[in-house]
Structure formats: C-alpha cells, structure tokens
Amino acid sequence: MVQPENEYSTWPGVADFPTDMNRNYMAYVEQQLLDEGITVPLLVNDNLVMGYFAPGSGQGAVDIYAIDAYQVRYDCAIPVFGPLTDFRMMASDTRMRRPLLLLSSKGGLVRDGVVQDMCSQLVNKEAVRVVYKNIYTLGVKIFNIYMTFGGTNWGNLGYMGGHTSYDYGAAIAEERAIWRKKYSEQKLQANFLKVSPAYLTLTPHLGANGTYGTPSSIAVTALLKNGTSTNFYIIRHADFTSIDNTQYTLILPTSMGDIEIPQLGGYLTLNGRDSKFHVTYYDVGGINLIYSSAEIFTWTRGSGSTRVLILYGGAGETHE
C-alpha cells in the first residue's frame, strides 16, 4: 500500500521536534503529577503523528501513545467529500503501539471567512457514517470526537487565533440545538458500540475490494474473533467519494455454514455516501443472532428470558 505523505511533514521545525527542552518540560510535568499522587496512565495527543513521546522513546515518554488527526480535507469553502487519511500506517507503526487511540478526530471544522454551516456540510451525517466507521475498522479503543458540541469561545479563552463561535459545524450547534442530522448518526453508532463489548476484543483485518461475495466497487473490512464469537463486517464504497447507489450480496461464514445474504433473494444496497455494520454470531445477552444485514441500534433484556433488539436500515432498503 502506498502511504500518503504526512500532512504535517513540511511544517517548519518538525524535524527538530521534540527538542531536549521539550523532553525536559514533558518529564517535569509528569513528575509533578506523580508528586501529587496522580498515578493513572499518562497519554500524549501527538498532532504531528510522528511517534513523539511514545512509550520507549526516551525522556518524557508517556504510558500510552495517542494521535490527533483529521480525516477529511480542510477546505469547507467547497463542501465536497474528498479522500480520507489512511490511518492503517499509524495503527501498524511500532512507534504508535497498540492500543490505537484517537484523541482528537474531526467532528467539526473551521475555516476563515467561511460560514459554519458550510463546514457542517463537509463533515455531515454521510461523512460521519463513512469516516467514523472507517476508523472502527482499525480497532480504535479510545475515540474522541473534536468536537461534538462547539459552544462559544468566550473572550478567546480557547485560542486567541480561534473564532468567537466554536460551533465548527459540530453535531450540537453553538446554541445547543440538535437539528443537525449528524447528531442522530453519532447517537446510532454510540448506542451500537455501547451494547457491543465484543468490539474491544476483535482483531481488525485488512480491508479489500470485492471480497465476501461483493462486487469490486464495494470494500469489506472484517473485525473477527476465533471461534463462533461476534464478528463485524464494515461495508463501504471502494471509492470513498462515491455517491452511487450500489447493490451487493454478502457470503459470510456462520455456524450454519457459508450463507449468502440476503437468503430470500434480492440485494443489499449502499444508497449514496454510506457505510454499514453487518454482524454474525452477535451476542444479544446470551442469545446468538446468526446474522443481520440491518444495523443494530441497541438491545436490552426483557422479562424472563426475552430480549428486545432494535434494528434499523436506510429508507427504501430491505433487510434480514
């Protein structure tokens, strides 16, 4: 795989960072925390994504390395979805160390002279479905969205070069309104992960186009565990920028053998810019769901041995 050039690699001074002064300062801060009895693991949020202060990197190294990275281009004056940053190189780099933590991921965007709503269009609900689910394919363990609520930067308390409005087209608007559809999409994903603890123990595999019975225009990334345990298959267009309506079927291994989904005929569909979770062996509180082409919102225990499972799909789609 050809790796894109790091977008920060041409910044002045990057080659010289961190300096001895930076390392001394980081070590000093860490010691102050320890002296106050704060002994929890320390993280670093490396916005240069260069492995700085990663465990084993020398003075000032932290316990767990994490990155600050944005997946979509910065120009919301032209709010058209573009190619994504490839995080797989970060996930596999020995400096980055597992687990993969993303402490500042694009949930909004700001651009001088551009209204917030245009930035909201660039990182809208479709972008959330494609970008965030692509991040899950890496098995990210801590995923922090910057930002979910923008708010107001009173008196430039956050950053003197920032806007007074810290809205940035975030899921929750500056006035605390939740009319942006990306808020609902983030809620769908968060609720699914909340009731799917198996995600934390799955092993991400390299995504490939045209696998598991799909056409070459569909990319499938599997997150698997040995044996008959919960498995996830994340589906998207092979071309991140595609807004095509693409039909596909899946052939997935299950405890009933390989099953072509849908079993009752017809096709599954990616309608426009979209990405989906399909599951097999999904654990619904001790009940084994062999597969579902519909996405899972949540589940809960009912009375006795019953379970309540809530599924969803896009408008006009048929699921099993």
Residues 179 and 224 in one domain: no
In a domain, 194, yes or no: no
Residues 181 and 203 in one domain: no
Identify the weakest region by mean pLDDT among 33-37, 224-228, 268-272, 309-313.
224-228
Model pLDDT for residues 8-64, shown as the tens digit of each residue = 344 334 455 778 888 899 999 999 999 999 999 998 888 777 788 888 888 999 998
Confidence of residue 316 (pLDDT cuts 50, 70, 90): confident
Do 141 and 206 lie in one domain? The reply is: no
Q: What is the pLDDT of residue 27?
A: 94
Does 7 fall in a domain? no
Q: Is residue 1 part of a domain?
A: no
pLDDT at 33: 95
Q: What is the DSSP letter of 35?
A: H
Query: What is the maximum span of the chain, computed from C-alpha positions, in angstroms?
Result: 66
H/E segment holding residue 185: helix 181-194
Burial classification of residue 230, based on how many CB atoms lie within 10 Å of its CB (0-12 exposed, 13-18 middle, 19 or more buried): buried
Confidence of residue 222 (pLDDT cuts 50, 70, 90): very high
Going by C-alpha positions, the residue among 46, 45, 44, 48 that lies closest to residue 8 is: 48
**CA distance linking residue 176 with residue 51, whole number of Å:** 36
Q: Is 319 within the bounds of a domain?
A: no
pLDDT at position 269 is 95
The answer to whether the Cα torsion of 121, 123, 125, 131 is positive or negative is positive
Single pTM value for the model: 0.84
Domain contains 173 = yes
Q: What is the pLDDT of residue 232?
A: 95
Asked if 218 and 153 sit in the same domain, the reply is no
Q: Which domain holds residue 103?
A: 69-188
pLDDT digits (tens, 9 = 90+) for 176-219: 889 889 999 999 999 999 999 999 999 888 889 999 999 999 99
Contact by Cβ (8 Å): 100, 93: no
Structure tokens at 248: 């596909």
Q: Which residue has the higher pLDDT, 89 or 142?
A: 142
Q: Which residue type is seen at 226? A: N
- Give domain status of residue 43, yes or no: no
Give 10 or 78, the one with higher predicted confidence: 78
* Within a domain: 63: no
Residue 167 token pair: 């809205």
Q: Which pLDDT belongs to residue 78?
A: 67
pLDDT score of 210: 95
Domains contained in the chain, number? 2
Q: What does the chain come to in residues?
A: 320
Judging by DSSP bridges, how do beta strands 257-261 and 64-69 pair with one another?
unpaired
Q: Are residue 184 and residue 251 in the same domain, yes or no?
A: no
- Of 188, 210, 245, the last residue of a domain is 188
Decide which of 124, 154, 188 is a domain's last residue.
188
Residue 294 lies in a domain: yes
Q: Check residues 191 and 150 and name the one with the higher pLDDT.
A: 191
Q: Give the Cβ contact number of residue 67 at 10 Å.
A: 23
| 293 & 272 share domain | yes
Q: How many CB atoms lie within 10 A of CB 85?
A: 20
**pLDDT greater than 60 at residue 91:** no
Domain boundary at 188, 209, 242, which?
Answer: 188
Number of neighbours of residue 2 by Cβ within 10 angstroms: 4
183 and 205 assigned to the same domain? no
137-157 mean pLDDT? 82
Both 93 and 149 in one domain: the answer is yes
Residue type, 256: M
